[in-house]
Chain A
Amino acid sequence: MVFSSIMFLFRFMPVAFVLYYLTPGRFKNAMLFALSLVFYSWGEVRFFPIMLISASVDYFVGRAIERNRGNTRACNGFLAISLTFSLGSLLFFKYTNFFIDNVNLLLSASIPNIGLTLPLGISFYTFQTMSYAIDVYRGKIKAEKSFINFATYVAMFPQLIAGPIVRYTDISREMKNRVMNPAQIQSGVMLFIMGLGSKVLIANNVGELWTQVEQIGFADISTALAWLGILAFSLQIYFDFSGYSLMAIGLGKMLGFHFPQNFHYPYISKSATEFWRRWHMTLGSFFREYVYLPLGGNRVSKPRQYLNIFIVWLLTGFWHGASWNFVLWGLYFCLFLCIEKTFLLKLLGKSKILAHVYLLFIVVVSWALFAITDFSQLGVFLSIMFGRVGGDDWMYYLRNYSASLILGILLATPLLRKISGKLKDNYAVQSVFAAVVLLLSVAYLVDSTYNPFLYFRF
């Protein structure tokens, strides 16, 4: 089930929240766990055991590490079990066919692919359970004694499918003792509605443009339409993903949890370095915490520092999908981050406008690498983007999508927040605005002709 559906809004949500609020305090986690299993099974009934096994392994590993604190070798062993299991299941489900395809290509063999579908949310929950085991190993947190509490953390429906990647340290306190008051629930509802609007009213609206560019075929579009299309995709992926995160954060607040922020106006950044501090922040901090810093971060020699950056971005790219274009996309950012680190950052500091233009340019181009999985198609698209192919096809699409695109561009900046901050009767205006967004979103969901969810395949 996705949050942006009539099923979620008018079936699951009302029932789930009644049950959750009515359940007495000490059973709330168990209720949340049960609701989350229903939520997960609704979309993918076959794979919920895998999630449960994944949660169990790390629960027991956490306990075992805690009990054998003094014994370093045993702790190392237990951590190894956890990492092997988490990474193993991720590699198996997500990357097996990719490896088979590449072996076939290299050796001109013909090993058949295995018939696997990606279990929903596996890229997200394996990262969460892994972070827990490592944090216990490092002694940063105490192992969770209650299996229900731990399983609830892993399975919790708001963040299960597409993040934000919540670490146990973020919510361990709230797992045992959390406040729920009308003001907080209300602010959760508002966030949820803003997320819903981002997804349904903006992402879906502009996303259709990119889908149509794909349908026409990259070979048959003009340079102007290529840019219009990739601009639309840039807005779609931002509002789709940040909208989903916002819905998750809002639902979390309604349940009494504070999830970490995942997006912070990434498109107003002035460098790639800054962009990645504002885009998918929980993924960035995961890689920083569990890969970059353990490798020595920037406290090692210059060449090692660049190697560390390279490793992090290779993994970041690969995490996004089992396809070479995602690796290329990661390394593309690695290149710009390294250039910025050596000299460009200082130069960009001199002109704000130039820095914005530079950042938007490289990010928009990066989405082409991200969106087009097939390399020959990518080549065609880039050659049209940077060529001079005429035609009037862009006129139709500009006319049909201009208002949506402008709205998307404006809302990608903190403009709305600034306006709302300046208002006198903030609450009344916010309420009316949220009500309109909610009603419009429902209307668009009822007549949804296009409602994909980009991050489902991750």
Chain B
Amino acid sequence: MLSIEKSYIAQMITRMNFQYTLILCLSVMLVTSCGGIQQKKVSYPSKPITYLVPWAAGGMTDMSSRMMAVTLQKYLGQTVNVVNRTGGGGVVGHLALSQARPDGYTLGAVTVEITQLHHMGLTDLNYENYTPLALIINNPAAITVNIDAPWNTIDELVEAIKSDPGNLQASGTARGGIWDIARVGFLDAAGLSSSDVPWVPSQGAAPALQELIAGGVDIVTASLSEVDALRKAGQVKTLAVMADERLSRFPDVPTLKEQGIDWSIGGWVSVCAPAGLPDDVRMKLDSAVYEASMDEDFIQNLTQAGSSLQYLGGAELSEFMKAEDASKGVLMKEAGLTN
């Protein structure tokens, strides 16, 4: 039975005229591309929206942005297409969003890197190139060590660093990346110098954790959600999280602040539009993004994927980015991370 059907399909495809198919494809493409020309003046949004993501498919930014796009679709009544524009440590995608027309038909994810890249001299872009709409997730950094490490609290770790500066090494991402800055800030707040725990660059949290388990580095400063699987597997232990208060999903992990070290930092993902978005479009998007952020499915899916959700509206987000930008500028200069 199966083989009869199969050969029938094969024959059908065989008989299809190749040129005919090609012409058909081309004419469909032509017709669809003409659609854009005849825009009538109707209320926003009247056509599909593009959602630019500056990081590769499969990562945390991509996953949260795709969820936001799907949910926004529900509240805007238009298709929202996710497009990954990767490369250049996030520069390429962030640049593409800043250069898009501010008409509300190009939105995108702006991530924590926008407050770091220009300090490193990789681009002139900064948070002022965007119209902030909302903060979606903010995953706090954490201090994780090998399960066999002799330290069980932050105090013991800080003592170990003080007694032999420069001996312990930390990793988690590239040089000047968010978890590197988390390390610098932690050492600064604990009264140490950034050279007391040198940074070993890595291509993200997973290779750094591999090094941690293999004994290549001593400390990983990536977020709790990234180390959670290995924590549950009993390979690593997390001494502290760099958040203002304990995370609801990890009530057993203390914060740095509880232990007298005043420092918190996280890797965040926001949704933004290019700078200069008209007010009427902005108001419509503000409320749609707010509704999407409060959507039950959206919250449930992202929480289960291990993200810490934090909603901030446009004005608050703007203040938040400004403060982050300033504090990181000072830290990165001190640590010699600016080129």
> Do A and B make up one complex?
no
